[in-house]
Amino acid sequence: MNHKLTINSQLPSLIEGTWTGEGRGEFPGIISFDYRETLVFTRRDEKNLAYEQRAQKRYDGGTEYIQSHWENGFINILENDDLQLVNIQIGGRSEILVGSIESRNGMFRIHFVSKALNNDPRMVSSARTFELEGDTLRYEMGMHTTKVEGLMPHLKITLQRTT
């Protein structure tokens, strides 16, 4: 049996649910910020998950969180058993990322890299990594833009499953 297929087929049941948490955002040329996020994964079938990600940020010294990011998309298990993440973001940017999942000692790591970025000429590439361990989901995102050479850290958050 294909080990990759076995792990991938577990993905919908492992990640389905609502996740909330607080994290930190940074990137060269922007003011660093704290943020909170709600991430909802909904199983569509055995090979497809829909997701919605909403974030609010708070700048250093501030007390209020301000709505800052909203995206919707899908994670699909492809015919070759690779993973694909497709999304549309507030402001019109869309991404297609390809990835894989690996399992180590009860922890699942999902890593995506961009294949196509649309409607944002500043973006060169992006990468996202999810680490799932029980009811804890750690998430990191990196970006490479026309003004910043190479993939640089942008977001880092730890979320807890709430449902």
In the chain, domain spans: 3-161
**Separation CA 56–CA 104 (nearest Å):** 32
pTM here is 0.90
**Separation CA 122–CA 93 (nearest Å):** 10
In DSSP notation, 7-63 reads: HHHHHHHHH-EEEEEEEEE--TTS--EEEEEEEEEEEEETTEEEEEEEEEEEETT--
Model confidence over 16-54: pLDDT tens digits?
Answer: 999 999 999 999 999 899 999 999 999 999 899 999 999
Beta strand pairing call for 66-77 and 136-145: unpaired
Domain 3-161's class? mainly beta
Model confidence over 94-129: pLDDT tens digits?
Answer: 999 999 999 988 899 999 999 999 999 999 999 999
